[in-house]
Amino acid sequence: MTALLQVKNLQVRVEEQEILHGLTLTVNAGEVHAIMGPNGSGKSTLSHVIAGKPGYEVTGGEILFKGEDLLDMAPDVRSAKGVFLAFQYPVEIPGVTTMTFLRTALNAQRKARGEAEYLVPDFLRKVREVAGSLNIPMDMLKRGVNVGFSGGEKKRNEVLQMALFQPSLCILDEMDSGLDIDALRVAADGVNALRSPERAMVVITHYQRLLNYIVPDHVHVMSKGRVVKSGGKELALELEATGYAQYEDVAA
Amino acid sequence: MIHLGKNTTSRIISKGIAAGVSQNTYRGLVTAHRKATNARNFTACDSLLIGDKCGAHTVPYIEAKNSSALFEHEATTSKISEDVLFYCVQRGLSQEEAVGLVVNGFVKDVLQQLPMEFAVEAQKLISISLEGSVG
């Protein structure tokens, strides 16, 4: 069986500065991986490169998604193939209702996969069902995308999209930032409901706290652009006690 | 906008889009006649820039011939940010679909005032004229 996501010896530069120096990571379907590390260790860079954000130059290594070369695909193609990045700071799009956005995006993905586009009544039924399970009022979906949303609402909107698009790889970039404990639990519950044998998740976070709610199968510690240690979920607890300092020495 | 009568109010919403190497200018004259006491006007000019070689200019003219007139003007200029586009593209929209979506959101206040037939046409027109403007 080929792994869902294979990152091999990835080297990435941003404006002449190398951020990732040969990062290797393998994620199989059904697994939840947590990536932890101090600020500036390259966690977000990794998530951006996987999703295809412009501005990063890959100088070496490769990323395979279901055995295909991911770096060769445009970001919207990656999305249609099942790569989903939940943003740390979801952007606001004034004047575009969340509903319109969801429908446009979902249909664009279905069209790219050669599937029939959703008709409005079918789509509404589906959204209502998913939003209901996440405790999202339909009123919220009539507002502009993320415009005037609280931190919790923005993250719930990301989870809603994840549930709606059913991607095979979900990358959660610091989902816990800007959330209070209750909002965190709601968002984490939404994510947990999406765990399935066909789907893998990569959870990027600074803190162990999130991992109490979303329990990972594997934990990786990143420092200075490399994975310096991998282990089971107990590694996260260990980190919480000892901090990142010891790993920074390893990388240096 | 010409105010002739007493206690008249008006509102102007202008939405300008500049793409490629174009320059977009708003010029609007608001006048209050000598007898138009308590005339009120509110003008909002929003400009959207697509790309880094275009510009937007706002030149509001005001002629108040009586001292009780109250004219307000406010202007904003925004750019379609890379982050917004990437967000849309990450969710499966192509670059052009993403621009179209953001632009239509921007002009929504104006388009929704138009009769249905025009609104649909205007929307199509916008996406056609934006074709190839982002590269």
With an 8 Å Cβ cutoff, are A96 and B104 in contact?
A: yes
What mean pLDDT is predicted for residues A169-181?
88
Query: Which of B13, B47, B90 to mutate: most A Cβ within 10 Å?
Result: B90
Q: Which of A227, A191, A175, A166 is nearest to A41 (CA)?
A: A227
% of chain A with per-residue pLDDT over 70: 98
Average pLDDT over residues B44-59: 92
**In percent, how much of chain A has pLDDT > 90?**
63
Residue B114 is predicted with a pLDDT of 84
Report the pLDDT value the prediction gives residue A250, as an integer from 0 to 100: 57
Average pLDDT on A195-208 reads: 91
Q: How far apart are CA B39 and CA B19, in angstroms?
A: 36
In chain B, residues with a C-beta closer than 8 Å to the C-beta of A112 are 92
Across the interface, whether the CB atoms of B107 and A84 are under 8 A apart is answered: no
Residue B135 has pLDDT above 70, yes or no: no
Distances from the Cα of A148 to the Cα of A128, A184, B65, angstroms: 21, 19, 40
| B87 contacts on A by Cβ (under 8 Å) | 87, 90-91, 93
Q: Across the interface, do B105 and A144 touch by the CB < 8 Å criterion? A: yes
* Chain B neighbors of A75, CB-CB under 8 A: 86, 89-90
Nearest residue in B to A94, CA atom? B105
- Mean pLDDT, rounded, for B26-52: 93
Nearest CA to B102 out of B78, B120, B122, B121 is that of: B78
- Whether the predicted pLDDT of A252 surpasses 60: no
Domain-by-domain residue ranges, chain B?
Answer: 1-79, 80-135
pLDDT tens sequence across A204-251 = 998 888 898 999 999 999 988 889 889 888 888 888 788 887 776 655
When pLDDT is cut at 50, 70 and 90, the band that residue A104 belongs to is very high
Burial class (CB in 10 A: 0-12, 13-18, 19+), A108: buried
The answer to whether A123 faces chain B, any CB pair under 8 Å, is no
**Complex-level ipTM:** 0.91
% residues pLDDT > 70 (chain B): 97
| Chain B residue with Cα closest to A93 | B102
Q: What are phi and psi of A196, to 5 degrees?
A: -155, 160
Mean pLDDT of B96-120: 86
Assign domain A5-251 to its CATH architecture. 3-Layer(aba) Sandwich (3.40)
Torsions phi, psi for B75 (to 5 deg) = -135, 140
What mean pLDDT do residues A66-77 have? 92
Q: Give the C-alpha separation, A148 to A133, whole Å.
A: 22
Smallest CA–CA distance from B111 into chain A, residue? A95
pLDDT at A75 over 80: yes
Answer positive or negative: Cα dihedral of A193, A93, B92, A61.
negative
